[in-house]
Structure 1
Amino acid sequence: MVRVTRALLREYGRFMDDLRIYVRGGAGGMGHARLGGEGGKGGDVWLVAQEKITLKRIKDRYPRKRFTAGVGANSSVAALRGGKGKDCEVNVPPGISVTTDDGKVFGELNQTGDRLLVAQGGIGGCLATHFLPSKGQRHMIHLDLKLIADVGLVGFPNAGKSSLLTKISHATPQIADYAFTTIKPELGIVKYADFKQITVADLPGLIEGAHANKGRGHKFLKHVERTKQLLFVVDVSGFQLSSTTPFRTAFETVVLLAKELELYKEELRTKPALLAVNKMDLPSAQEKLNEFMEQLQSPQDYMHTLSKKMIPQITVKFKEIIPISAHTGEGIEELIMCLRKVLDEEAEKKIEDYQRQQLRGLRLSEI
């Protein structure tokens, strides 16, 4: 077990979801005082979202992690207005949020082709600056990758999320019978008969205390932010991380997962959520499922098993609850259709909300 765990940690080290780099805009060019010429503006540094780019690849290709734009051309007799310095474009993967060391938010790049200016070039020398150029902006910035997926699988380690992803999509995540098998986010694609496709992200398993960055807490939770809906996956028989940690029933597991999401960011409570009750092929699974469903119908009657600090302020209301077996395939087709149904309903709701806002705006403009 120790050898396996160390191997997993080495593998995790090959995946990067954050990178700190230095960016600097080019200095402006010198003005020509005698002839009143203006120096060229320094080049800018842009981040550009591109497919097939990873943060690890950026680090390997540019080990110094420094990106500098070109200097503006000096004004001269031949060219009184100096040319602009060459821009520097840094290709990054989609799903990047960009911040400075002091916490200033530059913006996000969510789709391929998105561009973000992170360091402006300096102004060329001109009359207003006594023909002296200015330096370009310089920043240490953080590139923070957050997966963008339609569905995010949420569950404690060994709940069967990787096996489920394999069943419903064409992904091939690493699977084994021990906790923390998923050491990096895995994306799968579910394809429907009408050619509709949805992306499903299997994320590293949560543990109690993840909101406080215990385990890989924040590395997991930040990816949840970018998913449109959540699919809770729980073992119908319950869960125990190790012999030194308490055993949690399926009901307690759901409550604790909801609390971890709430403590990390309250907005996560508003995401549409489904519940897949896994491992229904095991002995006594139906009996345990019946008890679990009763607890979900009257959750307040069963909260006494947990301390107050573990109880979420708002109980999760699941759009659908589907018993499944990722091993035998039981309930998988129903789950696949439910994922599509909830996504379509949410998309229609957003369209209706937008139309109502537009109509309200028109009415106000007529007053």
Structure 2
Amino acid sequence: MSETCIIIGASHAAAQLAPSLRQEGWAGLIIVIGDEPYAPYQRPPLSKTYLQGEKGVDDLLIRHQEAYAKHGIELRLGERVEAIDRESKTVTLQNGDVLYYDKLALCTGARVRKVSLPGADLEGIHYLRNIDDVNHIKAHVGEQKNAVIVGGGYIGLETAAVLNKLGMQVTVLEMASRVLARVTAPEVSEFYERVHAEEGVNIQTGIAVSGFEGAKRVMRVVCADGSHYPADLVVIGVGVLPNTELAEAADLATDDGILVDSYTKTADPDIVAVGDCTMHPSELYGYVRLESVPNAMEQAKSAAATLCGKQKPYTALPWFWSDQYDLKLQIAGLNRGYDQVVIRGDRQGSRSFAAFYLQEGRLLAVDCVNRPQEFMLSKRLITQQIQIDVAKLVDDTKSFKELVSA
């Protein structure tokens, strides 16, 4: 009798996990359940090329539905899982259907963190996480209209850059003293604030939003210091929360994510978890939760092996990227615990440099702006924990490849 693997969440992790299961030898049923009406799609372009109108929905799809059918993968889209019963090994859908599983994969991702400020339910106030979110935002885009972005993280700045290109008057309001404060050094924050200012975006830091005003739709954003900003469109980007509710209700261990081991196994031997929703061990950084497409893909490959009774630990180095204007930011590693930042290149006079984060002389992470060679080669320096001569690291007159080889 063939076994059934159910994958909850039609995420990027699910799009990798389902075909990887076939590659690892899973011969039974594979069912992917997603609450959106779309097959798994790429999310990074949402705040960039999709918002700008350069890509359509079909361009975002990781695979077309025919590809899933070819591998015998059943997609149940527009359906939501309400509960997991580990004892009976069933999942109950919102429509009342009960499905049996032999193995279960939680690829539930994350959701936007919402604000509960006065006026937050006015028309014209949006969050950006899925296709429908961006479609609603597009309806309010127009030249010379005012857009206010609440939050100066990557999503906020990427959205600001695109809306600026589309002719809107854009203001970014960030509560912290600088943009990207949680994820980069002050030198990198300063660079991005300068570039956005040069492009015509108004960035205000150290400012707290206290509410939104308007009749039926938003007209202005009000701040705690008494200042206010006109708004035809507001996009709120203040982080995400992992979707752990199903796991918690099923009595699986969670801690800012579903706890898994290096093989993606939860406390239940028949349940794995993959992607943004997981808290997993890293040899270099301890337990981490990553919001990253590369993490979802590599973790999914490990999960596929686990579900097929094989052992392929997930050990990939975290990496990320962000596109704003002509800037390609590539990040390798995590900079938590750094005690020194050194810069290679001219971040004041150009749009190309690398910021290296070190701890006791060893490289933890690097932020590379239009520096693909430094990004690629730094991965080796980080994973091998090589001691680095800082003077050579910052010498931009010498080839970075030669430095790494030495």
TM-score normalised by length of structure 1: 0.25
Higher strand proportion (structure 1 or 2): 2
Higher helix proportion (structure 1 or 2): 1
TM-score normalised by length of structure 2: 0.23
Q: Which has the larger Rg?
A: 1
